Amino acid sequence: MNIVDLEFIKLISISSPSKIILMVLDGLGGLPKLETGKTELETASTPNLDKLATHGICGLIDPVSPGITPGSGPGHLALFGYDPVRFNIGRGVLEALGIDFNLQPGDVAARGNFCSVDKAGLVTDRRAGRISTEECARLCRLLDGAMIDNVRVLLSPVKEHRFIAVFRGEGLVHDVNDSDPQQLDVAPKAITALTPEANMMANVANQFVNRAKTILVEHHPANMLLLRGFSQRPQLPTMNEVYKLNPAVIASYPMYRGLAKLMGMEVLKTGSSVEAELATLKENYNNYDFFFLHVKGTDAAGEDGDFDRKVKVIEEVDNALTNITSLEPDVIVVTGDHSTPALLKSHSWHPVPILLHSKWCRRDEVKEFSESACINGGLGRFPATQIISLAMANALKLTKFGA
Amino acid sequence: MNIVDLEFIKLISISSPSKIILMVLDGLGGLPKLETGKTELETASTPNLDKLATHGICGLIDPVSPGITPGSGPGHLALFGYDPVRFNIGRGVLEALGIDFNLQPGDVAARGNFCSVDKAGLVTDRRAGRISTEECARLCRLLDGAMIDNVRVLLSPVKEHRFIAVFRGEGLVHDVNDSDPQQLDVAPKAITALTPEANMMANVANQFVNRAKTILVEHHPANMLLLRGFSQRPQLPTMNEVYKLNPAVIASYPMYRGLAKLMGMEVLKTGSSVEAELATLKENYNNYDFFFLHVKGTDAAGEDGDFDRKVKVIEEVDNALTNITSLEPDVIVVTGDHSTPALLKSHSWHPVPILLHSKWCRRDEVKEFSESACINGGLGRFPATQIISLAMANALKLTKFGA
């Protein structure tokens, strides 16, 4: 068994008072700066993480598999044992989660762009000159709430030209293609059903687009819209069903809260700093046995190509770490959902350092939490989907398999 | 996902001008000599490979899985991401590829042995005293070209007692058992269909064997023949379809060219030395974005049990390596399709060292290309089927998976 099977884990998981904290530094893994030969994590001064590594066991994880660069959805699903290829989450749903939109079962969500078209209807700017978020909100209000063939279309602004369109009604199926042609000087594509069941969805979506075209005609540069990534909320077995955990998420960014909610985690209200997140942890520590703490700053700095800022965020986390260790949880895991090297300014395929600290972890010789030190860690290199069973084992929450 | 799925990679692969060179030293991995404790690769002086390893990242690959000794077919399919268990290539087809026989879709190829039988028809020598290749060619000509029930039977000599029989006609299905009993003092087996669809194939093959028996009766020791490994050319998705690569093979041995052709690689004419192969690479460098370079000498020396010759071939490759590095390809991978330790005189199951060199590889601490040093490499130990996605990631030829 290489892919952790949820049904299998379900058979051997047990509920217990022991506590697990999984701290995810988004985009943690990096690449070395030419001048120093050190990555962001290797450059940062991290006495507390190094101490945890020294007393714990380390390794490297592959979120999907070697060479594959995961988006945030797959990266996070894998961390909680959900096969990210099997449970792929569509773009529309992810955007909806990202603005805390309360998606209902059956809703079909699409990511939208306001765009510019010329008189012939050909796309001249896929982002409508990046109109302001306020303008986007105003246009969304114009289009929001339409009823088309018993389907309600709900629009919510995201940022600048971006919005989501949510189709709510009976019998909608998300298997339709994008209207966004992803190129200029062509007309938006008609939305067509990829399966017979999705005919109604395609029909409603096309009616909506035509209606929007009429309404937007005088709102140049935002005189048209493009839709892509039609998708429905996947039905994931919850972490309580599979792992018998009572899990909570502490994340300042809505998308990660939304992803966690899909897996059945309780969302805890928190602030936007690492300190605020750790304060939330402390307050709620007695009420849950599994905490997912998400730190966004590492990824954001990596995406911006800001090596030094990423170093600083890691140091900030290290500083705050005593707030976790002082709680003396049974298991602490620190890792990332993927690498985001500042040098690449994007997510990447490189494996991510992981440390696991527990009384029963069988510590290795690694004394430093870094990409290069983790190569020789006792956990070796393994798929991220196996983290959760490893953490549960260390929390004595898995029983023996077989007699 | 541990076995890289071709359909999955297809979704995220993109075409780009970046270049990948995969150099395969056939049977590269070895076992240490008792006297020195060093393998062939560790004994060889390899300053250029060591330099690549120092600036690159290393690891160990398992062609099929730990403990499994692959033939040349599975070993090579895995290197290009094709699951070698799912896409098994039959013995007959492999032999045909090995003599550059132009197999047509639908052809059924079998590996043949001329053999000796006694008056009762029982096999007394499965190899007919290893008749000369010339004698084999003469006998093949006697039998070549027969038409049986609208099926043409084509015979081609291979080496000594070995030949191939290719059955060409409409509606042939390869699911029949061998006639070769693989033991002495029994009669050759009747060929029987394993599925109803293969009835015609079995019928034609038996008629052919009976005919051959009559013709060969006076040609002792080669007075009979045995057939095994009936198989048809598998329909593999091409590397262009899956990876959007424009790949070429440079190999002096026909079997490897044939295997590469099955995967859609363009075959480049080349000479028989490593230098000749590298000259071919240089000449054609601008025309392709992926090159598979195959070096046979390491495996041949290993099979012969010639430790020192294998060392010499590795040193020859190392010497010529600057011809690759001077081209400055985006990604260089050096590995083998399996181990062939001179001490075992055969293919083996031992994992094979691999090095990957690219701007984005995240170099490790390995400073020497060897079995023991690669154990601590940053790539860890992984299935050979993942090499190609890793190489493509490093060439920035894979987009992000999921939003």
Spatial CA neighbour of A110 closest among A69, A150, A64, A151: A151
CB A293 within 8 A of CB A24: yes
**Residue B2: which pLDDT band, with cuts at 50, 70 and 90?**
very low
Measured between alpha carbons, how far apart are the two ends of chain B, in Å? Answer: 18
* A244 burial type by CB count under 10 A (0-12 exposed, 13-18 middle, 19+ buried): middle
Digit-by-digit pLDDT tens for chain A (403 residues) are 344 589 999 999 999 999 999 999 999 999 999 999 999 999 999 999 999 999 999 999 999 999 999 999 999 999 999 999 988 899 899 999 989 899 999 999 999 999 999 999 999 999 999 999 999 999 999 999 999 999 999 999 998 999 999 999 999 999 999 999 989 999 999 999 999 999 999 999 999 999 999 999 999 999 999 999 999 998 899 999 999 999 999 999 888 999 999 999 999 999 989 999 999 999 999 999 999 999 999 999 999 999 999 999 999 999 999 999 999 999 999 999 999 999 999 999 999 999 999 999 999 999 999 999 999 999 999 999 999 999 999 999 999 998 8
Mean pLDDT across the stretch B191-207? 97
C-beta contacts of B145-149 below 8 A and 24+ residues apart: B146/B208, B146/B211, B148/B204, B148/B207, B148/B208, B148/B211, B149/B200, B149/B203, B149/B204, B149/B207
Who has greater pLDDT, B43 or A402?
B43
In this prediction, residue B1 carries a pLDDT of 36
Name residue, tokens 């071919």.
B280
Instruction: Note whether B313 and B272 are within 8 A (CB).
Output: no
A66 with B392: Cβ contact below 8 A? no
Q: What is the pLDDT of residue A1?
A: 36
- pLDDT given for residue B30 in this prediction: 98
- Chain B residues with CB under 8 Å of a chain A CB are 1-2, 4-5, 8, 12, 360, 362-365, 376-382, 386, 388-394, 398-403
Chain A residue with minimum CA distance to B392: A67
H/E element, A116: strand A108-117
DSSP A165: E
**Closest-CA residue to B166 (of B247, B92, B225):** B92
Task: Please judge whether B364 and A344 are an interchain contact, meaning their C-beta atoms are less than 8 angstroms apart.
Answer: no
- What is the torsional sign of CA A239, A243, A244, A250? negative
Q: Any idea of the CA torsion for A279, A281, A342, B388, to the nearest 10 degrees?
A: 180
**What phi and psi, each to the nearest 5 degrees, are found at residue B47?**
-60, -35
For residue A238, which amino acid is it? T
CA-based nearest residue in chain B for residue A74: B402
**So what's the pLDDT on residue A403?**
82
**How deeply is A47 buried, as exposed, middle or buried, from its count of CB atoms within 10 A (0-12, 13-18, 19+)?**
exposed
Of residues B391, B396, B309, B313, the one with CA closest to residue B61: B391
Interchain CB distance below 8 Å, A69 and B393: yes
Residues B362, A375: C-beta atoms closer than 8 Å: no
Which pLDDT score, from 0 to 100, does residue A88 have?
83
**Confidence label for B4 from pLDDT (cuts 50, 70 and 90):** low
Q: What is the mean pLDDT of chain B?
A: 95
Taking a C-beta distance cutoff of 8 angstroms, is the pair A57, A378 a contact?
A: yes
Q: What is the DSSP string of A169-193?
A: STT----B--S--SSSSSPPPPP-B
Tokens of A239: 């972490």
Average pLDDT of the residues in B384-388:
96
Query: CB–CB of A68 and B12 under 8 A?
Result: yes
Collapsed DSSP state (helix, strand, coil) of residue A94: helix
Instruction: Note whether A3 contacts B2, CB cutoff 8 Å.
Output: yes
Work out the average pLDDT over B77-100.
92
- Pick from B27, B102, B4, B66: nearest CA to B346: B27
Mutate to test the interface with B, among A375, A382, A386 (most CBs of B within 10 A): A375
Token pair listed for B302 = 């290993």
- The Cβ of residue A378 has, within 10 Å, a number of other Cβ atoms equal to 16
Cα–Cα distance measured from residue B317 to residue B46, given in angstroms and rounded to the nearest whole number: 9
CA distance A349 to B378: 13
Mutate to test the interface with A, among B60, B359, B401 (most CBs of A within 10 A): B401
Rounded percentage of chain B residues whose pLDDT exceeds 70: 99
DSSP A224-274: EEEEEEEEE---PPPHHHHH---EEEEESSHHHHHHHHHTTPEEPP--SSH
pLDDT number for residue B3: 44
pLDDT, residue B88, reads 84
Closest in A94, A371, A383 to B403, CB measured: A94
C-alpha–C-alpha distance, residues B155 and B216, integer Å? 14
SS3 B257: helix
Average pLDDT over residues B318-326: 95
Burial class (CB in 10 A: 0-12, 13-18, 19+), B267: middle
Query: H/E element holding B138?
Result: helix B133-143
Q: Can you give the pLDDT at residue B260? A: 95
* Cis amide prior to A221 (ω within 30 degrees): yes
Task: Write out chain B residues lying below 8 Å of A90, CB-based.
Answer: 403
Name the residue of chain A whose CA is nearest to B376's CA: A376
Q: Name the residue among A182, A192, A257, A267 with its Cα closest to residue A226.
A: A182
pLDDT of residue B350: 98
Q: Give the CA radius of gyration of chain A.
A: 23
Query: How far apart are the C-alpha atoms of B339 and B330, rounded to whole Å?
Result: 27
DSSP H or E stretch at residue A355: strand A352-358
User: Which pLDDT score is estimated for A4?
Assistant: 58
Q: At B231, give phi and psi (nearest 5°).
A: -160, 160
Helix/strand/coil for A51: helix
Q: Count how many pairs of residues, chain A against chain B, have C-beta atoms within 8 Å.
A: 101
Coil, strand or helix at B233? coil
Q: What share of chain B is helix, strand, coil (3-state, %, to 5)?
A: 35, 20, 45
Mean pLDDT confidence for B73-102: 93
Give me A272's structure tokens: 């936007």
Q: What b-and-e string marks burial along A311-349, b requiring 16 or more CB atoms within 10 Å of the CB? A: bbbbbbbbebbeebeeeebbbbbbbbbbbbbbbbebbbb
pLDDT band at B199 (very low <50, low <70, confident <90, very high): very high
For B315-348, b where at least 16 C-beta lie within 10 A, e where not — what string?
A: bbbbebbeebeeeebbbbbbbbbbbbbbbbeebb
Chain-chain contact of B402 with A89 (C-beta, under 8 angstroms):
yes
Closest alpha carbon within chain B to A34: B359
Q: Kindly list the distances between the CA atom of residue A202 and the CA atoms of A115, A143, A146, A205, B96, in Å, as whole numbers in the listed order.
A: 20, 18, 16, 5, 51
